Amino acid sequence: MKPHLISQEVLASQVFRYDPAYRFAAFVFFCFLLAQVPAVIWLVYERQVGAERQSRAAQLAADAAKIGSEHKALADTEKKLKRIQDLAPILRARLPISAVLGKIEQLASPDLTVSKITVDAEAFQPLQIEAGLFRIPQQIRISMEGEQGLQSTHADAYNEFAQALLRSLPPESKIADRSIIAGERYKTFRITLIAPTNGNYFGLGVTKIASQNSL
CATH number at residue 146: 3.30.70
Let me know whether 13 and 109 are in one domain.
no
pLDDT at 2 over 60: no
User: What are the φ/ψ torsions at residue 74 (nearest 5 degrees)?
Assistant: -95, 5
Q: Indicate if 26 and 69 belong to the same structural domain.
A: yes
| pLDDT at residue 1, as a whole number | 47
pTM of the model: 0.55
Quick one: 137 and 193 in the same domain? Answer: yes
Question: In which domain, by residue range, is 133 found?
Answer: 95-208
202, 106: one domain: yes
pLDDT digits (tens, 9 = 90+) for 35-91: 777 877 888 888 888 888 888 888 888 888 888 887 777 778 877 777 777 777 666
pLDDT of residue 214: 42
Phi-psi region at 211: left, alpha or beta (left = phi > 0; alpha = psi -120 to 50): beta
Same domain, 38 and 141: no
Cα separation, 82 vs 130, whole angstroms: 10
Q: Is residue 214 one of the residues assigned to a domain?
A: no
If asked whether residues 65 and 105 sit together in one domain, one would say no
Q: What is the mean pLDDT of residues 11-38?
A: 68
pLDDT (tens digit per residue) in 111-139: 888 889 998 888 887 877 776 777 778 88
**Residue 87 covered by a domain:** no
pLDDT of residue 212 exceeding 70, the answer is no
In terms of domains, do 105 and 55 share one?
no
